[in-house]
Amino acid sequence: MRSSHDVVVVGAGLAGLHAALTLQDAGLDVLVLEAGDRVGGRVRSLDGPTGVEEAGAVNIGDGYARLLAHVRAAGLEQEPVTVSMREHVIVAGGHTGTPATWAESEGNPLTGAERALPPALIVAGALARGNPLTGARDWMSPGAATWDVPLTDHLRSTGVSDAAIALADRAGTFETLESTSALAALRAAQRATRHAPQTSNIVGGNTRLPESMAARLRTPVRLGSAVTAVRESGNLMVVELGDGERIAAGHVVLAVPFTSLRSIAVEPALPEPVARLVAELPYPALTKYHLVADRPFWEEDGLPPVMWTTNRIQRLLPWRLADDGPSALAVWVTGRDARVLDALGEREQRRIVLDELARVRPATAGAVEITRIVSWGRDPWAGGAWAMPLPGQMAALAAAVETDTGRLQLAGEHLSVEDSGMEGALESGERAAARVLARHGLA
């Protein structure tokens, strides 16, 4: 054994860092191990031609109490997020328009009252209509299994046509609507109603938050320390690293995505249905193509800079716009389209994205270039962007949240109960830390 600690936390994302700080504040000796070369997990800020750009988690909700407490503790400043989908370009069926012209567009395949609804709002509108979940923990109740069905089934039950479902499925944030639990989608919609609509980012990049959290740890985070096994040995847990090093601890918190946890041997095995969920919970791919525009092409074509398409480039979102000088934008591609592009070489990806942009929006031709490609699906320590439960998995997820796994605790945004995103990650880390403290008699 190289060292021994009260607790070893595996993963230096927000969940792991929050758990580590909570345990440290209670007086425990904590070591954080991180397989990658930086802290932050799926929070990642990049230096771009126009300033800082967010390659990972973006929005900080005004209701994110835990996260904002860390922001205040570090003395970080915030700036508002101004991107809105209210005004956006719609590209479908070979035609281009806006929400104001969509109802009359020749590319609109819908009929009746559905023709007036922009495709990007089809799913959100259906989920908002009579959402059966009113409380933060309603999704965990036995009766909620009624809605743990394919999202397509729920959409049809609310009157959404098959044509509208096919349109929404083409460029959403889901892997597919058919493979997504309606209960998971309803939970996400219910969570969104509990936070103020204003969102922000941290000045200088959201990565400054996990960096500031890591700086408060008495024992520095060990980067480049990939864990291969966690085994119980008597009254201790033994953490094994890829180079053969072994570290002893009274408790271990595995604060990593399940995609990473699958490569870590755990003995004794996690209880069912936790182990099954670890093996099967999907994480949709997400690839971001960071762009710099040397001129305001949106002024040339008179259309909003935000764009939603049924094409494989899916969405164009601005980050920092300027009338004079370079602007920063990004193409967001998720799910199946992202995996197809991920399988290609970088040069071919760049060609396809720029050619497709120029085809559906000619004003971008010669005006934009790709500065960086960030693939979360190909990231070895993330394996995807976020957890998106399959139909029938929500009961197992609720069981995993409520199961106290003893000396080995799990954390991560995938195990949040009441919150989502960055705040959900902190919530899960807090719960894991509380269970460890309870076993130490410090709760």
> In this structure, are 186 and 217 located in the same domain?
no
The lowest-confidence range among 7-16, 300-309, 403-412, 434-443 is: 434-443
**Number of C-alpha atoms within 13 angstroms, CB side, residue 364?**
26
Q: Which of 148, 164, 192 is the last residue of a domain?
A: 192
CA–CA dist 431, 429 (Å, integer)? 5
Mean per-residue pLDDT, 169-188: 90
DSSP-derived secondary structure letter, 58: -
pLDDT at 1: 62
| 77 band by pLDDT with thresholds 50, 70 and 90 | very high
DSSP-derived secondary structure letter, 415: G
What does the mean pLDDT of the chain come to?
94
> In this structure, are 150 and 225 located in the same domain?
no
Encode pLDDT of 81-135 as tens digits.
877 767 899 999 999 999 999 999 999 999 999 999 999 999 999 998 889 999 9
| 192 band by pLDDT with thresholds 50, 70 and 90 | confident
179 located within any domain: yes
Q: Which of 192, 227, 260 is the last residue of a domain?
A: 192
Secondary structure (DSSP) of 350-405: HHHHHHHHHHH-GGGTTTEEEEEEEESSS-TTTSSSS--PPTT-HHHHHHHHH---
Phi first, then psi: what are they for 135, rounded to 5°?
-110, 155
Name the residue among 390, 384, 386, 339 with its Cα closest to residue 178. 390
361 located within any domain: no
pLDDT at 102: 95
User: What CATH number did the domain enclosing 249 receive?
Assistant: 3.50.50.60
pLDDT at 74: 96
Q: What is the extent of the structural domain holding 118?
A: 109-192
Q: At 91, which helix (H) or strand (E)?
A: strand 89-92
> In this structure, are 209 and 187 located in the same domain?
no
pLDDT at 194: 72
pLDDT at 197: 61
Mean per-residue pLDDT, 429-443: 92
196 has pLDDT over 60? no
pLDDT at 396: 93
195 has pLDDT over 70? no
| 166 band by pLDDT with thresholds 50, 70 and 90 | very high
Q: Which of 152, 171, 192 is the last residue of a domain?
A: 192
> In this structure, are 171 and 243 located in the same domain?
no
Encode pLDDT of 377-401 as tens digits.
999 999 999 999 999 999 999 999 9
Name the residue with higher pLDDT: 12 or 404. Answer: 12
> In this structure, are 188 and 263 located in the same domain?
no
Encode pLDDT of 247-273 as tens digits.
999 999 999 999 999 999 999 999 988
> In this structure, are 113 and 188 located in the same domain?
yes
| 333 band by pLDDT with thresholds 50, 70 and 90 | very high
Other Cβ atoms less than 10 A from the Cβ of 240: the count is 16
292 has pLDDT over 80? yes
- For the chain, percent of residues with pLDDT exceeding 90: 86
Contact partners, residue 286, CB within 8 Å, separation at least 6: 332, 333, 334, 338, 375, 376, 377, 384, 385, 386
| Buried-state track 397-427, b at ≥16 Cβ within 10 A, e below 16 | bbbbbeeebebbbbbbbbbbbebbbbbbbbb
pLDDT at 184: 96
81 located within any domain: no
> In this structure, are 241 and 273 located in the same domain?
yes
> In this structure, are 266 and 217 located in the same domain?
yes
119 located within any domain: yes
> In this structure, are 173 and 218 located in the same domain?
no
The lowest-confidence range among 74-88, 152-166, 269-283 is: 74-88
Mean per-residue pLDDT, 309-327: 92
174 located within any domain: yes
> In this structure, are 207 and 277 located in the same domain?
yes
198 has pLDDT over 80? no
| 159 band by pLDDT with thresholds 50, 70 and 90 | very high
Q: Which two tokens stand for residue 308?
A: 């939603």
| 324 band by pLDDT with thresholds 50, 70 and 90 | confident
Mean per-residue pLDDT, 423-432: 97
Other Cβ atoms less than 10 A from the Cβ of 157: the count is 12
361 has pLDDT over 90? yes
368 located within any domain: no
94 located within any domain: no
Q: Percent helix, strand, coil in the chain (nearest 5)? A: 35, 25, 40
CA–CA dist 95, 359 (Å, integer)? 11
> In this structure, are 114 and 255 located in the same domain?
no
Name the residue among 322, 288, 289 with its Cα closest to residue 305. 322
Q: Which two tokens stand for residue 197?
A: 């609509």
pLDDT at 172: 74
Q: Is 334 exposed, middle or buried (0-12, 13-18, 19+ CB in 10 A)?
A: buried
| 305 band by pLDDT with thresholds 50, 70 and 90 | very high
CA–CA dist 190, 150 (Å, integer)? 18
> In this structure, are 220 and 179 located in the same domain?
no
The total of structural domains in the chain comes to 2
373 located within any domain: no
